[in-house]
Amino acid sequence: MNKHGLEPVVMPTAADETITGDPSMTEVVEDLSHRKALACYEIVKDDNRYAGHIIVAADTIVYKDGIMGKPEDAEDARRMLRSYRGTFHYVVTGITLIDVDSGNEEVLSDITKVWCKDYTDEDIENYISMAEPYDKAGAYAIQGYFGRYIDRIEGDYENVVGLPYYRIKKILENC
């Protein structure tokens, strides 16, 4: 957001992120971003300091034959990274915007297809020896060291980073 000239107020919430049933990858991220936005809205809706503000909440997943969350350990990271090798996966971000004054909501998602190079087991071992994979959905950050293993993407790079600003910008321009 800062890169685009906005100065957000960052407000983490304790929204429940439990996934139930068998939702699609877009339903998951839209639901999770909506929960986060509503949790924030409940905190600020009656606080005049936030009049005129727009809440923007997002959640990003990596999807390859199922949701790839943050790896639990090195073996989990290894499993994820092996599954991407020489093939593609999806990065899906759900975004919810809520106008604090009116309570009006907009929920959307963005999908980027990501192709990985055919990297080696040694490349994977070198990568998982770093701290980078362990706090990232899907065990990697395209903007970090792992970016060297990305062959190409179809969609928005910023979506893979975690926030497709061009989608948000269109909505904010109409507020």
* Residue 126, CA atoms < 13 Å, CB-side half-sphere: 9
CB 93 within 8 A of CB 163: yes
Q: Which residues, at least 6 apart from 105, have a Cβ–Cβ distance to it below 8 Å?
A: 34, 37, 96, 97, 98, 99
Which 8-state DSSP code applies to residue 93?
Answer: E
Query: Has 59 been annotated as catalytic?
Result: yes
Sign of the alpha-carbon torsion through 52, 47, 162, 19: negative
CA atoms within 13 Å, Cβ hemisphere of 8 = 13
104 Rama class: left (phi>0) / alpha (psi -120 to 50) / beta: beta
Q: Which one of 16, 47, 59, 118 is the catalytic residue?
A: 59
Q: Which residues are identified as catalytic?
A: 59
